[in-house]
Amino acid sequence: MDATTVPVLAPAAISDDERAAILEAVRDFAQTELAPHALEWDAASVFPRDTLRRGGELGLGGIYIREDVGGSGLSRADAVAIFEELAQGDPAIAAYISIHNMVAWMIDSYGDDTQRQQWLPLLTSMAGFGSYCLTEPGAGSDAAAITTSAIRDGDEFVLTGVKQFISGGGEASVYIVMARTDADAGARGITAFLVPADTPGLSFGAIEHKMGWNAQPTRQVILDEVRIPAANVLGTEGQGFKIAMSALDGGRINIAACSLGGAQWALDRAVTYVHERFTFGEPLAEKQAVVFALADMATELRAARALVRDAAAALDAKSSDASMQCAMAKRFATDAGFSVANQALQLHGGYGYLHEYGIEKVVRDLRVHQILEGTNEIMRVIIGRQLLAG
């Protein structure tokens, strides 16, 4: 396989009945394995390794990965529906599964046969986890400005630098690290490396204390003269920035789908609550202001869902404007998802602010979706530039 290009793969064609059966199985997993424990994991910052491995048995570790390495071989359109269902159980865990799938896709799409066979059976089964290492303390939105270096030394590269905000840091089996192999080549001087977790010189910062996403660890990944065989280059030297950006297209619609799922859960809870809560002698559901709020919430979610599905279809079809559509879907759905969840909290009044009701957790979890996989301001840059370029 030519490692410089993504292979042209047709997603598995499944029938409507097969798709419905898959989503029913995912829904059951989300409601029995995730939802009952979500508040506990959040409060105690528990990373549920065993639960994730059971998700791997269901095929969640390689949703759109080829079947010869244990993947499910599904389409991006199928994947966004799956992530929406997972997020109704726990948005934080659904989002980590999204990141894990992004790592697996990068190896499946750009790795050689040895790399695919070495890593993907481990990742698709979720017997091991993956992490994506692009952001640095001084390089977030400007990803081409990374300074982590990779210096060639015979048949090895020596990696030195620090990666910031890495989901799964300290838990992953393999880290895809973007490092600079040419200091003067800008984005074209970045290369992607597969770094096993047990590599000498690789260490991790303290677990970050975050507003949300407490069930998945976020740490610095520190590389102190980490020696990696040249065979661990993913793709070709200098191709890393392209690989990173192509992965983010899929990551963005997955995170958008997670926002849809979390927000739909919050909306459903709000609808139930306003029927049960009485004020001034009548249920909240009888008040026009409440009816209008719910109508707007449902409308925003349906519009966001349409954008996400269209973007997924564009990615499956390899449309020329797929990156722009993914940026549109990510921007709109993550903004809408947070707004809907926040409004659901407001409709619950003081009860929405209590941990036991779960609404405030979803608000906290969905807030970061407007920042990661490229901030929503960067999404506007991507959309605007493509529009202006014609």
294 is written with which tokens? 């719910």
C-alpha 148/C-alpha 220 separation (Å) is: 13
Catalytic residue among 33, 85, 300, 373, which? 373
Task: Dump the DSSP string for 150-211.
Answer: EEEETTEEEEEEEEEEEETTTT-SEEEEEEES-TTSGGGGEEEEEEETT-TTEEE-PPP--S
What angle, rounded to 10 degrees, do the helices at 91-110 and 359-367 form? 30
Query: Are the C-beta atoms of 372 and 259 separated by less than 8 Å?
Result: no
Reply yes or no on whether 373 is catalytic: yes
Query: Are the C-beta atoms of 245 and 109 separated by less than 8 Å?
Result: no
Cβ contacts of residue 219 below 8 Å, gap of 6+? 166, 169, 170, 204, 205, 206, 207, 208
Query: Are the C-beta atoms of 198 and 228 separated by less than 8 Å?
Result: no
C-alpha 277/C-alpha 302 separation (Å) is: 26
Query: Are the C-beta atoms of 223 and 166 separated by less than 8 Å?
Result: no
Query: Are the C-beta atoms of 240 and 192 separated by less than 8 Å?
Result: yes
37 is written with which tokens? 């424990």
Q: Please, what's the b/e burial string for 27-60 (b: 16 or more CB within 10 A of its CB; e: otherwise)?
A: bebbeebbeebbbebbeeeebbeebbbebbebbb
Q: Which residues are catalytic?
A: 373
